Structure formats: structure tokens, C-alpha cells
Amino acid sequence: MPEREIRIYEDLSELTQAAADRFVEAAHGGIEAKGFFTISLAGGSTPRSLYTRLSSSDYRARVDWTRVHFFWGDERIVPSTHPDSNYRMANETLLKNIPISEDHLHRIPTELTPASQAAETYSNELKNFFGLKEQQWPRFDLILLGMGPDGHTASLFPGSTTLFEKDRLVDSPYVEKFHSYRITLTPPTLNQAAGVLFFVAGGEKAQAVREVLEGNYDPARYPSQIIQPVDGALTWMLDRQAARLLSSRWPNTKNPQSLDPLKRP
Ligand code: 6PG
């Protein structure tokens, strides 16, 4: 049974520092074990604080960035220079400030149309990079994920058929609420990671956080519940606002406690 770690931090700054330390620790582990570190980045806006912190003077020197390979958990169907691009957000906050070569940036090729072509091409990039045979899945060292107020993660939205995808590494679901396609890693890919880190802040997420972590198992309604690493660590790092509706038994920075084994079927 995989273990689930839930940590609650006073505010975004404390949460960001803890997540940055976890990133550095995971990077050192990956580089030490096999000479490189594979990270799948989250999009949206919350991770801006984390990526900015990682490129700050007190963190930048703690990682051998020349041994890091960056991937993305999902992407919007916009050019990589577009304000909504997850690639652009990571580039502005981190990538342009660290010594990283282009061949270490495995961007989702959203310039390819239709979206299914972009998904297929990204899937092939994963198969080539991780040296996968048929029916094999990439095992990222660390996958960073955010969560929306509706409980979505990556581009796995409530009611999406991609939630129950069993064969594809990458999919290109149409997202009604945005009237557009997205490219996303699928649950089997996400759940093969050695480590998954949810980085969630803000009171508007509190209801979804409680439903995902303490509610009935219903991933069609709360997609983040589908993230259950098969053989990997699952860590939720929350600020106090996002955690405010949780029962008091979860660890927090005032009294760190033991891990909580997953109780899901
Ligand atoms: C995206 C993200 C998405 C994000 C959540 C939370 O492309 O938007 O991958 O899954 O993590 O929507 O976004 P915020 O951090 O901006 O609240």
C-alpha cells in the first residue's frame, strides 16, 4: 500500500521553501542514482513561486541543472510564447535563469495540429527518452502537480474520459469549460512516477482538498483522487488556507506527525 504524506505550511512562502527543498532532495537522489533527474512540471500560476525560488541565488547553486531533464505534465494548445503557455511560465520563472541546454527541455509540441498529433509526438518523445518497449510506462523521478478548485489536476478535468485511459501515455482531451483541447499525461503515466508532489495553496482550493483527501473515492468528480502512485511516494504540500477544511489529524509545521497510509481501494 503506497504511503501518502500530507504536510501543511503556514503560508505560501513556507510552503514554497519546503517544496523547493523537496525538489533539491529529489534531484540529488536522481542524479546520484543514475546521473540525471527527470522532472515533470506543473502549469497554472501557483508553481510560479516555487520555480522562482529554485532560480534564486540560495537554491540555484544547489542543483546541477546540466543533469536535469524537464518535461511538462500538461499544456494548453497555444504557442510556447503565449501568456497561457505552461512552458512560457516555467521559462520566465526558472528555465531562462539556469544553465540548461535545449535538448534537456522536453516541451509539449503544441504547434502541431491537430492536438492528437501533438500528444502522439510527445508520447514518442517519452518512449524514446525513457527507452520504453510496448506496454511500458515512463518513470519520472518527480512529477509536480497543482490542483484546481474543481479538483482537477494536470489537464484531467471532472468527467473526462482520459481519467480512465489505460493505454496511452499522453492524451489530448477536449475541455468543455475552456472550449479547447489540452495535452496531458494520463493517469497510468502519472502513477508510474517515483514521486508525485501536489503543491496547492489558497482558500479557494480548501473544499476540493477536503473532498480529495478525506471524501469518498470518486475520481470522475474529483480527478486528483486518481493520482495514486503504483510504486512511488505521494506527497501533498498545502498552505494553511488550502488545508483549512481538513480534519486536525494531518501533520503541519507546528507538529509534524507520521505518514498516513492511503485508505483508498
Ligand atoms: C494547468 C495546470 C493545472 C493547474 C491547476 C491549478 O495547465 O492549468 O496544469 O492542472 O495545476 O489548474 O492551477 P493554479 O495553480 O493556477 O491554481
Q: Whose CA is nearest to atom 15 of ligand 1?
A: 46
| Residue 46 beta carbon below 6 angstroms from any ligand 1 atom | yes
Contact between residue 8 and residue 253 where contact means Cβ atoms under 8 Å apart: yes
> How many of the other CB atoms lie within 10 Å of CB of 254?
7
Closest CA to 151 of 77, 76, 224: 224
Handedness of CA 9, 15, 20, 26 (dihedral sign): positive
Mutate to test the pocket of ligand 1, among 145, 147, 175 (most ligand atoms within 8 A of CB): 147
| Residue 42 beta carbon below 6 angstroms from any ligand 1 atom | yes
Q: What is the pTM of this model?
A: 0.94
Label residue 265 by pLDDT band (50, 70, 90): very low
Which of the two residues, 230 and 258, has the higher pLDDT score?
230
Q: Is the pLDDT of residue 222 over 60?
A: yes
Give pLDDT, residue 261.
40
H/E stretch holding 70 reads: strand 68-72
Distance CA 109, CA 118 (A): 5
Give pLDDT, residue 254.
58
Give pLDDT, residue 262.
42
Distance CA 51, CA 98 (A): 11
Give pLDDT, residue 248.
72
